[in-house]
Amino acid sequence: MNLKILQSTNINPTTFRRDKVKTNGDRGNYANSNLEKSPNQDCFEMSIGYVNDTHGQTNNMMRILSGLKGDLRLSAGDNDIGDEKNKAIHKATYKFLNIAGVTATALGNHEMDATQADLIDSMKDYNGDVLTINMSKDRLDKQDPKDVKELGREDLLKSLKPSKIVKVKGENVGLLGTAPIDLQDRLTHPTYHTDCHVHPLDESIQDIQKEVDNLKSQGVNKIVLLSHLGHKKDKAVAQQTDGIDVIIGGHTHELVRDIKEGENLFYTKSGEPVILTEAGRDGNYFGLLNLEFDKNGVITKAQNNLGETGLFHRNIINQYIFNGILGEPENVGYVKEALPPPKSLTEENPHANFVCDVMKEETDSDIAIWHNCGVRNFFHEGELNSRDVKDISPFLDFVAVAEVSEKTIVDLFKQAIRDTYSTSSRKPGLFAVSGLNYTVNTDNGTLAAMNFIDKQGKIHSIDVENPSEDKKYKVVTDEFLMSAGADFKTLAPEEDYIKKYSYDKDVMVCNYLKKHREPIIINQLGRINYTTDNK
């Protein structure tokens, strides 16, 4: 197969402005793309602008709107985040998809943080389609009517489509989507969706091939899969199906640069190329995939470009629209210095540690804990407003305080560390803390040591092999970790809370910053130590 792979170029505001001159119908090609209009009429060129796993990050959404281009714009899912308490973010998310001109999106697990009724209500605002081919659902009339009513269940599949055909510059392009196979393990509220069943990988591959064959039978020879399966499973799909040209992926938050054979370029059973790509997480990047097809719909030339969202400014008009949904952000402080955010969930997160310091001080608690998997952004140097802080903690999980035994705390850390180091994705991740430090054995994924630091700064060793059931600490965290988290043991049931605040960590941080006023420095490290069997 003679596939020409063109060198990628970074999408940035400079090339974006230089390419404002419209040619050939404004194909969305950026400077240096080298994909010029071919005189051979048997060739067809198109560009795909793509996003994935934006996770309700509204600031990044506004920046993406200033840079996202493409003849066809698509998403691989997890655009949204949060349950029914996050309705403003849901509304902003679908407004983003509409303004961006995203024609279709896969169904991600975070779309299903809310009830089926709320999800359907949110999707009504979307001008495009949510696609999934690999999910079945129990009939409502076969379920307990009480569950249907109390858990907000509806006929969800009627609001989803397996695939669609769109016109791009006069040519038909087929789109289909997949939901994550581990959906039930990723849901904020699993009980909302126990009647939904995502098919295992082998069956999902059969679902995909059947729908691809259906599209091909309608004369479509250019097909894009919007996948929320994860990068490793996308590779299996690419090599075990026939007829897919491009897989826009999500779920595992891979940042896929360029096009490299054996990494994100594979060949179908019939020998045709399949290109996989993915743009990281939290809307920190977006992509532009330039393609050339021959008359048979086979890719002959390709170029994969990534744009760094932080380089783009928020458009004033879009800010006005989002402010109408989310409210006007309030300036709350100034960040003088900030360490870079961690690159993995097993690295210590100084930004999350700072939030823990704030929670501990504001509630006069002994210990503050926050799970790294709930941290979705970081503090940027410069002026800080309330929406910047909200992006760090976009889920709405009210702050909760309770007396928790030493044994319960140790057991929680042991479970989280064990689960984190037993998965390739390193989820759910380690904990940010205040009033504690702890040591992780990275060889066997265990809690090796823990210390409590009291309010006078004195260090007290905790015996992690025989923690006390009688010793109690005043612990502050969010309600998700305290009692409602699907992946963690309960620290304290709601009826035992000392106090439950009517707001989340972001509001507490904003209140703290407005009260103290001095510029902040994000350098809170040294609370997690790492050891191995050889030390």
Sequence-ordered list of residues with C-beta below 8 angstroms from that of 3, at least 6 positions apart, any chain: 265, 273, 299, 300, 301, 302
What letter represents residue 478's amino acid? Answer: D
Q: For the chain, which ranges sit under pLDDT 70?
A: 1, 14-41, 485-486, 535
Place of tokens 């926050």: 370
Place of tokens 């690999």: 134
Q: Please name the helix (run of DSSP H) or strand (run of DSSP E) that holds residue 510, with its range, or none.
A: helix 505-516
Q: Please name the helix (run of DSSP H) or strand (run of DSSP E) that holds residue 105, with its range, or none.
A: strand 102-106
Class of domain 329-531: alpha beta
* pLDDT value of residue 535: 64
Q: Is 43 exposed, middle or buried (0-12, 13-18, 19+ CB in 10 A)?
A: middle
* pLDDT value of residue 25: 32
CB 250 within 8 Å of CB 228: yes
* pLDDT value of residue 374: 84
Residue 105: closest CA among 285, 251, 210: 251
Give the pLDDT confidence of 40-97 residue by residue, as tens digits. 567 999 999 999 999 999 999 999 999 999 999 999 999 999 888 899 999 999 999 9
Q: Answer yes or no: same fold for 4-10+48-311 and 329-531.
A: no
* pLDDT value of residue 31: 38
SS (H, E, C) 124-171: CCCCCEEECCCEEECCHHHCCHHHHHHCCCCCHHHHCECEEEEEECCE
Residue 137: closest CA among 189, 180, 182, 198: 198
- The CATH code of domain 4-10+48-311 reads 3.60.21.10
Could you report how far apart the first and last alpha carbons of the chain are, in Å? 52
CB 107 within 8 Å of CB 135: yes
Q: Three-state SS for 494?
A: helix
All structural domains of the chain with their residue ranges: 4-10+48-311, 329-531
What is the model's pTM? 0.85
DSSP assignment of 287-343: EEEEEEE-TTS-EEEEEEEEEEGGGSPPPHHHHHHHHHHH----EEEEEEEEPPPPS
CB 358 within 8 Å of CB 512: yes
Give the pLDDT confidence of 412-434 residue by residue, as tens digits. 999 999 999 998 778 889 999 99
CB 445 within 8 Å of CB 421: yes
Residue 207 zone, left/alpha/beta (φ > 0; ψ -120 to 50; rest): alpha
Place of tokens 């894009």: 224
Residue 93: closest CA among 58, 120, 132: 58
CB atoms near residue 456 (< 10 Å) = 5
Residue 251 CA: distances (Å) to CA of 77, 93, 248, 384 = 8, 17, 11, 29
